[in-house]
Amino acid sequence: MVFLHLSARLSIALGKNATIANSPRARLTPLVTYYSTSSTAKTTPSYSYVIIGAGSAGCVLANRLSENPSESILLLEAGPKDMLLGSTRLSWKIHMPAALTYNLCDDKYNWFYHTLPQAGLDGRVMYWPRGRVWGGSSSLNAMVYIRGHAQDYNRWHGQGADGWDYDHCLPYFRKAQSHELGADRYRGRNGPLHVSQGKTDHPLHHAFIEAGQQAGYPFTDDMNGYQQEGFGWMDMTIHKGKRWSTASAYLRPALSRPNLKAEVHCLTTRVLFDGTRAVGVEYQQNGQVKKVFADKEVILSGGAINSPQLLMLSGVGDGDHLKELGIPVIQHLPGVGSNLQDHLEIYVQQQCTQPITLFKAQKPFHMLKIGLEWLLCFTGYGATTHLESGGFIRSRPGVTHPDIQFHFLPSQVVDHGRIKPTLEAYQVHVGPMRSTSVGWLKLRSRNPSDHPIIQPNYLSTDNDVWELRQCVKLAREIFAQKAFEPFRGPEVMPGAIFQSDSDIDAFVRQKTESAYHPSCTCKMGAPTDRGAVVDPDTRVYGLEGLRVVDASIMPSMVSGNLNAPTIMIAEKAADAIKGLVPLCDSNVPVYQPPSLETQR
């Protein structure tokens, strides 16, 4: 084994040509040339594992793999650290929960992606913020901790991700988590990821939960436990008033280990191969091109956009597409970049007749007071995202588990938060969980700095249009309940003029936005699935020493937000990389509707 590693390094260092033999999954026979000098073998550092991306998955892997002191780990991140001089106060834009919109609109910590114009959304170009910083998107997101439904993971198992059913995933959710309410069959107690539950006394949050029950839906005391279905308080990755990203939970506690090194401002440009074995990576840092070797494995954790992009830049993807760009083909895998899925959502807004929303809190004087309280005590309005209540329901009879999600906010959001609210209003973000439109992404060029071409194909099926229309109708029904009578003013969005199905459909096409949940672009599946990119142990098909571990390997979207499932994926993959027997908890009870003949 040692000889193989030395041979791999020398073949790169000496600039040898490598001819790659066809594997059972290969369609093309490539010829690859590496350009370097003979001195590289003497100067290039080597680690057991090289992890690309210090995001929601990469930080988890860095922590878990470095638990073994005999292994050496290098973590490369394209963005900066998530703290200035190690201070959460100096880095308040990341660590103050209420300040989340600042980073969604700032390219300092954000890849700032955009899609192609979307025919289903009146030709609009959609904005996709993604984290480019320690913690990745867990340092930018709304800190909502939702796992999805048990049936999502059982579906994965049925789609070829053997061993990723709910019985095998739930223990890793528990392992990751330290829930403030303590442990039970569903919650964890001792994990690195601190999770809190909404506890606000704001009357609008209470009205929303009560209105859901008045409309005929159940109350749930834990959306991540026995019963996802219903209305209740949401879990959040907030700890002692601060954002609890994977950088805070996993990476920072592990940095004192001598066998873990984390580098920033490193744009990885390609994976290096010797034959069909990944042996290292090339990256750019501070204007220099560098290489590093991996004695055991290279692990891509760049997310649903960066991981397939890096695979394609490295010659792994659809062979015809790569040849068009002049990229030598290492492995023909047409599934790389395909199967792109995302959640859409739309805002339904109601004017509030009482001055109790967050409208006043966003005035300069009040923002200063809120900021000072948070900086001094980590308490007050700055210590929450205010997305503390929500719900999951089924859109129609016959649906087996919830396919519509609500996030309630006692405020008005305009243009991703880039425009300040104009009046006292509250809103609900509502969207379908399992849309049928599927898209793709491809390289724009061979330049690693060029963003890929992103085509989600939003609303390309009649089913998806119907679901969003239904979302608007059901949200209106919630806001029409008695619980909102003391607060209900005129509807702001869509507005009274949007009543017919065609009117609502027009509103949907004009105003629907991404929920920022791209996934599934390097899907996990069986060897017989031509669209699969990785096997159930997260290894890239047809190659050695290369894995993908992040949201891109989901076979299909989960029914909820993506951060909690991505952390679970990394926890489970870490055990697979270590060669451990996977955790399992069989026959955990899961709520089933009394009847599928009714919607509620």
Which residues participate in catalysis according to the annotation?
517
Quick one: 231 exposed, middle or buried, by C-beta within 10 A (0-12, 13-18, 19+)?
buried
* Residues 6 or more apart in contact with residue 579 via CB below 8 angstroms: none
From 368, 370, 359, 365, select the one nearest 413 (Cα to Cα).
359
* Residues 6 or more apart in contact with residue 320 via CB below 8 angstroms: none
CA dist 228 and 387 (Å) reads 17
Contact 83, 224 (CB under 8 A): no
CA dist 345 and 202 (Å) reads 24
* Residues 6 or more apart in contact with residue 244 via CB below 8 angstroms: 143, 193, 194, 195, 237, 238
* Residues 6 or more apart in contact with residue 402 via CB below 8 angstroms: 149, 228, 229, 392, 393, 394, 433, 559
CA dist 278 and 257 (Å) reads 26
Quick one: 183 exposed, middle or buried, by C-beta within 10 A (0-12, 13-18, 19+)?
middle
- Give residue 87's identity as a one-letter amino acid code: S
Q: What does R_g of the chain's alpha carbons equal in angstroms?
A: 24
Quick one: 335 exposed, middle or buried, by C-beta within 10 A (0-12, 13-18, 19+)?
buried
Q: For residue 192, how far is the Cα from the chain centroid?
A: 18
The angle at the Cα of 510, spanning 504 to 514, to the nearest 5 degrees, equals 105
From 174, 194, 192, 176, select the one nearest 184 (Cα to Cα).
174
Q: What are phi and psi of 272, to 5 degrees?
A: -95, 135
Contact 209, 231 (CB under 8 A): yes
Give one DSSP letter per residue of 491-530, joined into a string: EEES-TT--SHHHHHHHHHHH-EE-S--B-TT-B--TT-T
Angle between the N-to-C axes of helices 563-578 and 166-176, in degrees from 0 to 180, rounded to the nearest 10 = 100
CA dist 181 and 178 (Å) reads 9
Quick one: 60 exposed, middle or buried, by C-beta within 10 A (0-12, 13-18, 19+)?
buried
CA dist 331 and 522 (Å) reads 14
Contact 250, 59 (CB under 8 A): yes
CA dist 307 and 548 (Å) reads 7
